[in-house]
Structure 1
């Protein structure tokens, strides 16, 4: 779904002009693509921000420019890192029925089995979809999955009309067994021993002192 926004063409450029536009609670933007010259416009700040929020990373906006309607697919949004306001937007012009290549975020759904650790190896996937039917995200169910499960790109369920463009063997989610602190310490000691690394006595003394202090504090609390 595209959201309709009325845009104004602009002829002033540069940092000074951009600052004036933003002071009026508007956003400078540019549209390019389909072999046409870039079109520089000004967008209403609040309406555009809400449209981008609803549309997600690949928001599609129907831009009304000088009485003509143009579909613009969001390609880059520049945000001020301090004030978190939109400074500039780049759109690519698309037409209905046209297919585009986009990056779509991966959304995990559910909870894996007990004592597991879930690692998302790929947070976004590249796919080809119709410009007017780009999914906001690709859901991946991990409900009840045991340790040792790996979900590859080829395992994903894509919406109708979407085609995967990245390597089907790309690892998306890796579910492993959760490791306890004791097991991690044991692995570290084993690795150090194999590497011929000996722990300093001072380190052991510190560990022992720390353990004694913890014991003393526990006793004092009980008293």
Structure 2
């Protein structure tokens, strides 16, 4: 036989979903007692997506550790007690010209209105997780909306972690009191900041007008001066 490819599902049943482990043997010949040729052994684990209640059971019943992958600002506002924090994105403090321009624009819009920090992918994310957990560890990944935890789970899966779960749609779906938390606000509100939390849409509109005016005066001072001269006095 020129090659052998076999998939053997090894399932670990729980009340939630099944994590499948698939063993693949390629480009090799198998005989009783020994294997001939080149063999490539891979282990692939499916990420387990659960809701908040199922996630809480994974922690209590199956001993999953909570890994919060949000940025520091959201983590500081509110996080689950006794969780581990390794951000998938970190604040971008690079000082090249392109980054400075992007950071300025971001801070004047998304940062001002929604309190979102200017970030970049954490290059040490996987290594930081590996320094705290073994690949066999059971990890429940959480973020605010569910997107970052899914991306983080993909990175950890590629790095060899086999027991990963994520809360679908993130902490914004968590009901008050479901988890013991630390912080000044509820977990589901940790993603809210900036002008939109003060007076809602009215503040956002006014903020947009003020920022546009500021940018116009900054980049087109002569035109702004002419407009001011045309304005009625007294």
TM range (shorter): under 0.3
Which one scores higher on RCO, CA 8 angstroms, separation ≥ 6? 2
Answer 1 or 2: which has greater strand percent. Answer: 1
- TM-score, normalization by structure 1: 0.25
Answer 1 or 2: which has greater helix percent. Answer: 2
Q: Of the two, which has the highest radius of gyration? A: 1
